[in-house]
Chains A and B, each alone.
Chain A
C-alpha cells in the first residue's frame, strides 16, 4: 500500500480547518509526547495526541475516522503541560466540530433509557450534548 503525504506540497485542507477552528499553529509541536504521557485516557485512544498532530501536519488519511478526539474529555492536562504552548484540547474540539458539522450531530443521550436520563446529573448530560453537537 502506498500513502501520499503532503510535506511542502499541495493544500492540506484538514490542517487549515483545524488551525482555523482551534486557533492553534500545529507547526509549533516538536513531538515530545508530553501530551500523550499525561493523558488519563491514552490507553483508549487509537492514535496518541502527538501522533494525531503529526498525522494532521503530514496530511495522512483517515484522521476523522479516529476515536482519539471523541475520547478526549477536555481535562486540559495536555494543554496545561505542553512546553510549546499548544492548546491541544482545542485541536481535539476542532476535529469534533469538523465531524459534527459535516456529518451531523449525534447526541449520545438520544440512546439513553428514560431511567438513565433521570439518574444522570445535568452537567453530564449537557456536557455530553455539547461535545456531540456542532
Chain B
C-alpha cells in the first residue's frame, strides 16, 4: 500500500531535486509515495514556549487532514518538517487537553487524537526496505566516492524524536556503504549548520560551513551527503571559495546514481561532470529483482 507523503514547502520551492530523486528511488524499490491531497506548512520550528498553543495548529492541521484521508502513517523528506511534526505529535499524545483547546479554537474542525505516525524517509529505507535490499538494487556502485555524511540537528535531536543515536548516528553512513561508497567520518557530522541564521546572521553559518567542509576534506571526502534542505542550502551555497566547492548531495540522489537511474531523473545535470572519478563503470552488481510489496 502506498504511503502518504507530506512534502512541506521547501521541498516544493527550493529542493525539488530531493523530491524527484526520492520518488524515483522509492519507485525503483517498489514502494510508491503518494502526496497528501491537502497539506500546509508545518510551521518549521516546534514552539518551545509553554503558552504558545496556537503555533501547534499548523502541524495538527496536517494530522487532521491525514486522518480525513483515512490514513495513519505519513512520511516526509524534510528534517525540519519531520522534527516539527513528530514533536507536535508528542504534544498531542502527552497533553490531549491542548488538542481539545485547538479543536475548540478551530470551531471543532481540527479534531486530532494523536494517532498518526510520523516517519522520515530514512526510517522507511532503514527499517522497512533494509540495507540488504538497497544494496541488492545497486547497479553502479559508488566505489570511488568518499562521502562525508552530515546529519545536522533535526534528524537526531531531541533524542525522543530523533531517528538515530544523537551522538553517533549511522543511518546515512550505512546507506552510503550499501551503495558502495567509502564513508568518511568526523566529529562535526552532528553539529548544527547555523540553520535559519542564514537569513540575518550569515557569519555564524559561514563559520560552521567552513569548519564542516574543512573537516570533510581533511578526512578525505570528495562529497557531502545529507538529508535536510536547510543544511543543503547552507552547505552548498555558503562555502567560501566558489571555485573549489565540495559537492553536496541528497542521499536520494546518490541512491539513484547507484541504482543506475538517469541523472536527469535525480535533479542532477550530469553525474559524471559532478564526480568525474567517483562513479565506477568497471563493476556492475549482478541484477537482482527489486523489492516488491510482497517481499517487504
* Interface residues in chain A, defined as those with a beta carbon under 8 Å from any beta carbon in chain B: 20-23, 40-41, 43-44, 71, 73-77, 79-80, 87, 89-90, 92-94, 97, 108-109, 111-112, 120-128, 130-131
Contacts and interface: CB of A to CB of B under 8 A. Distances in A.
B204 A122 contact: no
Contact of A130 (B14, B45, B78, B194): B45
Interface string B46-66: 011111100100000000000
The secondary structure that dominates the A interface is helix
Interface stretch (B27-35, B68-76, B128-136, B195-203): B195-203
A121 B41 contact: no
Nearest to B157: A76
B153 interface: yes
Nearest to A90: B48
Given A40-B208, A41-B204, 9 more contacts: A21-B50, A22-B48, A73-B204, A76-B158, A79-B158, A121-B14, A122-B10, A128-B197, A130-B43
B115 interface: no
Nearest to B192: A75
B80 interface: yes
Interface of B: 8-10, 13-15, 41, 43-45, 47-52, 55, 78, 80, 153, 157-159, 166, 190-192, 194-201, 204, 207-208, 229-230, 233
A108 B158 contact: no
A44 B194 CA distance: 12
Contacts of B204: 41, 44, 71, 73
B195 A112 contact: no
A97 B15 CA distance: 31
Given A122-B41, A130-B55, A73 B13 contact: no
Contacts of B191: 40, 75, 77
7 contacts: A23-B50, A41-B204, A75-B157, A77-B191, A121-B10, A127-B195, A130-B43
Given A75-B192, A80-B166, A126 B44 contact: yes
A102 to B, nearest CB: 14
Contacts of B51: 20-21
A112 B198 CA distance: 12
A89 B48 CA distance: 8
B157 A77 contact: yes
A94 B47 CA distance: 10
Contacts of B52: 97
Contacts of A75: 153, 157, 191-192, 195
Contacts of B14: 121-123
A121 B230 CA distance: 7
Contacts of B44: 122-123, 126-127, 130
Residue of A73, A120, A125 contacting most chain B CB atoms (<10 Å): A73
A89 B153 CA distance: 13
A40 B51 CA distance: 28
A22 B199 contact: no
Contacts of B50: 20-23
The 9 closest A-B pairs by CB, nearest first: A75-B192, A93-B48, A127-B196, A108-B200, A121-B14, A76-B157, A128-B199, A122-B9, A75-B153
A80 B159 CA distance: 7
A23 B230 CA distance: 29
B49 A22 contact: yes
Contact of B49 (A44, A77, A93, A108): A93
Nearest to B162: A80
Contacts of A40: 191-192, 194, 208
Contact of A21 (B49, B197, B229): B49
Contacts of B201: 71
B48 A125 contact: no
A94 B233 CA distance: 28
A131 B229 CA distance: 19
Contacts of A41: 192, 194, 204
Contacts of B9: 122-123, 126
